[in-house]
Amino acid sequence: VKICFIQKEPFPYFGILSLAGYLKTQGIQSVVLIANLEDDLVQAVRETAPDLIGFSVMTPEHGWLVETSSKIKKSFPGIPLIVGGIHAILYPEAILGIPDVDYVCTGEGEYLLKELCDTLANNKNPAGISGIGHRSGDRLVVGDRALLLDSLSTHLEDREVYYLRYPALKNDELKQFIASRGCPYDCSFCFNEQIKEAYAGKGTYVRMKEPEHLLKEIKQAESVGIIKSIFFADDLFTLNKKWLRAFLPLYQKEIALPFMCTTRANLMDDEIAFMLKAAGCHTVSFGVETGCERLRNEVLNKYISDDEIIRCAAVLKKHGIRIQTSNMFCLPDETLSDAFDTVRLNVRIGTDFAFATLFMPFPGTRLTKYCIDHGYLSNDFNFNNIPRSFLHRSILNLSDKERIENLQKISYFLIRYPLLLGFGEYVIKNIKYRFIFAPLIFIGTFLRYKDERRISFFNAIKFLWRFRKSW
């Protein structure tokens, strides 16, 4: 059996890396097609001649899935089509409701895909596989979810599955890795709470790879492509101090590549910062989200005070680690003055690289319900209304929306060069024209990306150019 994965965005997805790695150990061949890098996706599928087509999807890609699955099914009506990924886990019924989708994977896909491939190879009916939803006549049958994987260290990721079709990805100086799955917190803007609910009773949700296993994955990736620096893109890389004590010294000894990682302001202390720095960490990323403490805690349920943010930043600075923060603008209840507080808090903590996005509501999260209840979103808000990007326009009904959007566009510069703050305040209050500010988000994103990840100008240009269809 040969499976052809289809994804939208031009970078390796951890889900597919893991699935292809596991399936390889079971003698099942995978190929990956990245829709945004193909001129003719249908022709590309034809060339790969698969027995099964599998889409990996995030919620903002719902519209793309509907459109693309229809195109693919029309051309290959006889090939079964399954959809997996976080969007499938969260909304299996909505996905099975798409007429061109045959199956939906409602959990982690390693064992389920293997079972589905075996079943199809033996011409049996996949209806009995628990964890794979299907259609029975007019009925959508989602059924029970499968158990979560016990261990994340049973198989290695397969990066070559990407490089075979897209050799340029091999030359990206920065490569992403993931050490864990899951997060124990419940911030209201995030899907984590829904994911935990979906997996209730199905095993341990927060899991780490064995330190030696992660090292093996990095070494294997080094053997098949260039790596000059690493980003550990976990929800929270510093969640488990005991694990860090085991992993970081080994990493320092055996890999020693500069890296960037994630944390949460309450998960940073002197010991962690010291270990990170010693192992080669140059930048740590964490969520400030908003400079308004009330919004952050009462509305976003982040439960992180300004003081904790200030302390986290000070610890990182003390150890010579640069700070990248994630910030959201156009939040419900946010005023222009709150939005300026976000900029000021970042200036105060000495943020080196501010990632400034517009809050993107997703159906089903607590914050989206709050937005609907308070009139910021209409009652019929659904997948089809989600904006394509979290950089350009907000869809909330906010009184000072245009000015806050404009501030988001230039906040990278105001935070990086605080001397501009007074001028920025004047400009935002007095000039409303969107077209003046809109291009600045591209420049800011480019500069941030290149500097925070320590990659060359040329590599950053190549990387962003690859994303041109996504913007």
Q: Point out which residues bind ligand SF4 (CB under 6 A).
A: 183, 185-187, 190, 192, 235, 264
Element (H, E) at 450: helix 434-452
Q: Residues 5-44: x/- map of binding to ligand B12 (CB under 6 A)?
A: ----x-xxxxxx-xx-------------------------
Position 58 contacts ligand B12 (CB under 6 A): yes
Distance between CA atoms of 134 and 142, rounded to whole angstroms?
Answer: 6
Q: Which span (52-60, 215-223, 398-406, 440-448) binds ligand B12, by CB under 6 A?
A: 52-60
In sequence order, which residues have a C-beta less than 8 Å from that of residue 193 and are 6 or more positions away?
Answer: 186, 187, 365, 366
Give the one entry of ligand B12, ligand SF4, none that residue 176 binds, where binding means its C-beta sits below a cut-off of 5 to 8 angstroms depending on kind.
ligand B12
Q: Which span (54-62, 167-175, 206-214, 447-455) binds ligand B12, by CB under 6 A?
A: 54-62
DSSP 299-326: IS-----HHHHHHHHHHHHHTT-EEEEE
Cβ 236 to ligand SF4, closest distance in Å? 6
Q: Which span (77-85, 243-251, 392-400, 444-452) binds ligand B12, by CB under 6 A?
A: 77-85
Cβ 16 to ligand B12, closest distance in Å? 6
Give the one entry of ligand SF4, ligand B12, none that residue 362 binds, where binding means its C-beta sits below a cut-off of 5 to 8 angstroms depending on kind.
ligand B12
Of the candidates 357, 380, 356, the residue with the CA atom closest to the CA atom of residue 368: 380
Position 310 contacts ligand B12 (CB under 6 A): no
| Residue 262 and residue 309 in contact, taking contact as beta carbons nearer than 8 Å | no
Give the one entry of ligand SF4, ligand B12, none that residue 19 binds, where binding means its C-beta sits below a cut-off of 5 to 8 angstroms depending on kind.
ligand B12
Of the candidates 165, 267, 272, 259, the residue with the CA atom closest to the CA atom of residue 214: 259
Q: Which span (30-38, 108-116, 280-288, 439-447) binds ligand B12, by CB under 6 A?
A: 108-116
DSSP 74-91: HH-TTS-EEEESHHHHH-
Name the token pair of 338: 């709150």
Cβ 368 to ligand B12, closest distance in Å? 11
With respect to ligand SF4, which residue has the nearer C-beta, 162 or 329? 329
Classify residue 111 by burial, with Cβ atoms within 10 Å: 0-12, 13-18, 19+. Answer: middle
With respect to ligand B12, which residue has the nearer C-beta, 15 or 444? 15
With respect to ligand B12, which residue has the nearer C-beta, 109 or 444? 109
Cβ 467 to ligand B12, closest distance in Å? 8
| Residue 338 and residue 295 in contact, taking contact as beta carbons nearer than 8 Å | yes
Position 257 contacts ligand B12 (CB under 6 A): no
**Applying CB under 6 A, what is the total number of residues that bind ligand B12?**
38
Element (H, E) at 3: strand 2-7
| Residue 38 and residue 97 in contact, taking contact as beta carbons nearer than 8 Å | no
Cβ 420 to ligand B12, closest distance in Å? 27
Number of H helices, E strands in the chain: 19, 15
| Residue 12 and residue 468 in contact, taking contact as beta carbons nearer than 8 Å | no
In sequence order, which residues have a C-beta less than 8 Å from that of residue 217 and are 6 or more positions away?
Answer: 156, 157, 177, 209
Position 390 contacts ligand B12 (CB under 6 A): yes
Cβ 87 to ligand SF4, closest distance in Å? 16
3-class secondary structure per residue, 215-226: HHHHHHHHHHCC
Q: What pairing do the DSSP bridges indicate for beta strands 281-289 and 259-262?
A: parallel
| Residue 346 and residue 422 in contact, taking contact as beta carbons nearer than 8 Å | no
Give the one entry of ligand B12, ligand SF4, none that residue 48 binds, where binding means its C-beta sits below a cut-off of 5 to 8 angstroms depending on kind.
none
Give the one entry of ligand SF4, ligand B12, none that residue 82 binds, where binding means its C-beta sits below a cut-off of 5 to 8 angstroms depending on kind.
ligand B12
Position 163 contacts ligand B12 (CB under 6 A): no
Position 229 contacts ligand B12 (CB under 6 A): no
Q: Helix, strand, coil proportions of the chain in percent (round to 5)?
A: 50, 15, 35
Cβ 225 to ligand SF4, closest distance in Å? 28
Position 191 contacts ligand B12 (CB under 6 A): yes
Name the token pair of 137: 């006549």
Give the one entry of ligand B12, ligand SF4, none that residue 13 binds, where binding means its C-beta sits below a cut-off of 5 to 8 angstroms depending on kind.
ligand B12
Please report, as ranges, the residues that interact with ligand B12 according to CB under 6 A: 9, 11-16, 18-19, 54, 56, 58-60, 82, 84-87, 89-90, 105, 108-110, 113, 176, 178, 181, 190-192, 195, 233, 235, 360, 362, 390
